[in-house]
Structure 1
Amino acid sequence: MASPRQARATLREVADRAGVSTSTASLVFSGKGPVAEDTADRVRRAATDLGYTGPNPLASSLRHGRAGVVGVVVEGRLLHAFRDPFAVSVLDGLAQELDAIPAGMLLIAQPADDPGRIIPQLAGYALDAVVFSLCGPMHNPVVEQLAARGIPMAGNGSPDDPRVAQIRLDERGASASAARHLHDLGHRRAGHIAMQLQGDSSTGPITPADVEKAAYADARDRALGFMDVFGEASPMVETALPDVEQGRLAGGMLLDVPAEHRPTAIVAQSDLLALGAIRAAEDLGLRVPHDVSVTGFDGVDLPWFVGTLTTVLQHGEEKGRQLGVMVRALLAGEPVTDVQMPTELRVGTTTAPPDSDAADQPARSRD
């Protein structure tokens, strides 16, 4: 039979035993005020004798009107987020800023195929704010529930709702810059590897009509940037996940065709997808960049990749910090406006001019 739960010792009981005021005992545990060392030692000994382990966090949050927790909604399984260096860099930057509040992060996985499933779960959490750390769907059903509770929200470009403060990126322009770099090198046959356009996407070919109906603004706009340069007739493949293996499958779909139809360049919507495309090329005996050039998007650290990926840098850690700065301002009741983050194209070793026979092919550009 379980023994009855022992009542938790209180700060007042500790203060009484140490012969000090409750406010003095509180200063010892908070570390926020000067207390003589011998007095502090008496308070700590009294706490040990009584089994007191510190202030009750629930009571503290009620007194200060804060839970000390910021919810971070991550679409899909957390496993996939932790495998993505860009997602990790955003979370790292966010954590650095939240530590200054101070506040902890509660990671909440939101199923891509049923985003409303977490609404009952969210309703049971005491949260100071919520951050949508990655680019999720444009319309997220949890926004209404959070807004009704008065919980401030910040997002990384989504959900598309005026009640969510945003870190924005010129996704279309950034993607077009990578495509334009290839076009300027002389490439006229290019393929595109997109992230998922819908919550239940599978890896396979897509059309411009699929792009226009996308639920994800970042994937849609990066595809539009590619089409702005190489045209709507260029082959495009959507992936179920933005990881190396899906990039490899998509790259195989684009490259495993007769040489006269094979793209001489691939624009991928993430660095991991780009690395998958490079592996697909190697599987087919193609050399990068001699036979096919490849670009990515993110600019993550890839110490295990030999060479330097040509990619769009979007500075994930700084993005995370900016999200944290937004949260701090929202919690302070300060006005917050959307922030436009810069991007830049880093030219590496995975792009080069095509062979002369490929360069002579008719252009598919809208120029």
Structure 2
Amino acid sequence: MGSRVTLRSVAEAAGVSTAAVSYAFNRPQRLSAEVRTRILAVARDLGYAGPNAAARSLRTGRANAVGVILTTELAYAFRDPYVLDLLGGLAETLAAGRTSLVLIPFAPVVAGLTDVQVRESLDAVHRAVIDGAVADGLTDAHPAVRALADRSLPLVLSAESSAARCVLIDDRQAGRTVGRHLVDLGHRDLAMVVAAPDPPGRLVPTVDEATLYPYSRNRLAGVRDALPPGARLRVVSGGGNATGSGHTAAAALLAGGDRPTAIVADSDVLAAAVAHTAAERGLRVGHDLSVTGFDDVPLAAAVGLTTVRQPIAEKGRLMARMLLDPAGTPNRVTLPTHLVVRSSTGPAPARRAGRTLT
């Protein structure tokens, strides 16, 4: 086996200094086009891909990269509209600062894992060559957040934090707004479909609310706050935030004669699936059944969802600015939300399952 190609061996083969090879990869403006082209050609012939990022970060004290903790499968980040908007906002700001984005997967469910399994999941967090990180939907108590804090890395969360910076929305107040909207329309028999840290499509008829993501707990609490005495609220989950989960939860709620008159979903992805399932069963969404979502991603307008709009991309941009410019940004920002009323909500039906709703 041949010896490993290094920056020094490229320099010797090209007849230049090691600094010149480093400049060719990292500071091309410091070399003439002719010299840089020659160095890169020699590097390519020798199979040298460039200076090691981890080693460079040790020398300079910077990796020029920000991590994003994902408590989902990595592929989920590329199909969930909320995550895509958040990553887009992050990338927009980071690109202006010539900073990369590193996606760091973590086990979606920590409860029940052995110590060895938790350590394996933490390995990616420990090994990540980053200057700081964003953790969306996680609290200070999450193992990934604690691991980043142990590394003394700057951290921005989207949940309340006593140790890290945070960019928030008032999820509980947003839940109250949705609840009041439905109550004002006469609804007293409601259900809420929440994303749970379980595989998509697996019915969770009895939800352990302590295991829910912080945003789900707060939105659920807000809806409860808005309900008058005597109103009913059932809570069900079909698993993680995915279309299949919404279908599963809706099918359970709409089976039989005791269905709710309104279903609140804690995301637009779940709400759209609920609405689709209802329509498949011959229900007119907005008439026979009201459905609401959360986020106001493009999907919501396309299917006429009443939903809560939050500035997702702006949240990502602010998180990035907090990491890039800590001295010039506040430690805590709460972004506004507002209710967008569309055709998926309407007055409660006068009668349901043989009883009058008041």
Coarse TM-score class (shorter-chain normalised): 0.7 to 0.9
Could you report, residue by residue, the CA deviation over 1:298-339 in whole angstroms, capped at 9, with x for unpaired residues? 111228x85321111112222222221122134xx6675111
Which is further off, 290-299 or 54-63?
54-63
- Among 50, 69, 91, the alignment partner of 1:95 is 91
Structure 1 residues 138 and 177, CA gap change in structure 2 (3 angstroms): farther
Aligned to 2:293, the other structure's residue is in SS state strand
Structure 1 residues 339 and 6, CA gap change in structure 2 (3 angstroms): same
1:190 touches 1:234 (CA, 8 Å); kept in 2? yes
Could you report, residue by residue, the CA deviation over 1:284-310 in whole angstroms, capped at 9, with x for unpaired residues? 22111221111100111228x853211
Aligned to 1:105, the other structure's residue is in SS state strand
How far did 1:8 drift?
2.2
Which is further off, 44-53 or 109-118?
44-53
Structure 1 residues 51 and 35, CA gap change in structure 2 (3 angstroms): same
Could you report, residue by residue, the CA deviation over 1:250-270 in whole angstroms, capped at 9, with x for unpaired residues? 222222232xx4322211111
Does residue 175 (structure 1) correspond to residue 172 (structure 2)? The answer is no
Give the structure 2 partner of residue 148 of structure 1: 150
2:28 touches 2:36 (CA, 8 Å); kept in 1? no
Structure 1 residues 350 and 57, CA gap change in structure 2 (3 angstroms): same
- CA separation in 2, counterparts of 1:252 and 1:16? 68
1:69 touches 1:106 (CA, 8 Å); kept in 2? no
Of structures 1 and 2, the larger Rg is shown by 1
Unmatched tracts of structure 1, length 5 or more:
none
Q: CA RMSD in A?
A: 3.3
Give the structure 1 partner of residue 127 of structure 2: 124
- CA separation in 2, counterparts of 1:126 and 1:45? 28
* TM-score normalised by the chain length of structure 2: 0.82
Does residue 354 (structure 1) correspond to residue 352 (structure 2)? The answer is no
Give the structure 2 partner of residue 188 of structure 1: 188
Aligned to 1:235, the other structure's residue is in SS state strand
Structure 1 residues 204 and 215, CA gap change in structure 2 (3 angstroms): closer
2:186 touches 2:347 (CA, 8 Å); kept in 1? yes
Aligned to 1:339, the other structure's residue is in SS state strand
Residue type at the aligned position of 1:145 = A
- CA separation in 2, counterparts of 1:200 and 1:136? 18
Residue type at the aligned position of 1:340 = T
1:329 touches 1:336 (CA, 8 Å); kept in 2? no
1:169 touches 1:340 (CA, 8 Å); kept in 2? yes
Aligned to 1:180, the other structure's residue is in SS state helix
Which is further off, 239-248 or 224-233?
224-233
Structure 1 residues 206 and 173, CA gap change in structure 2 (3 angstroms): farther
Structure 1 residues 230 and 33, CA gap change in structure 2 (3 angstroms): same
Aligned to 2:148, the other structure's residue is in SS state helix
1:14 touches 1:52 (CA, 8 Å); kept in 2? no
Residue type at the aligned position of 1:237 = V
Identity %: 32
Structure 1 residues 190 and 16, CA gap change in structure 2 (3 angstroms): closer
Structure 1 residues 126 and 311, CA gap change in structure 2 (3 angstroms): same
Could you report, residue by residue, the CA deviation over 1:220-247 in whole angstroms, capped at 9, with x for unpaired residues? 1111111122356322223321222221
How far did 1:170 drift?
0.6
Give the structure 2 partner of residue 342 of structure 1: 336
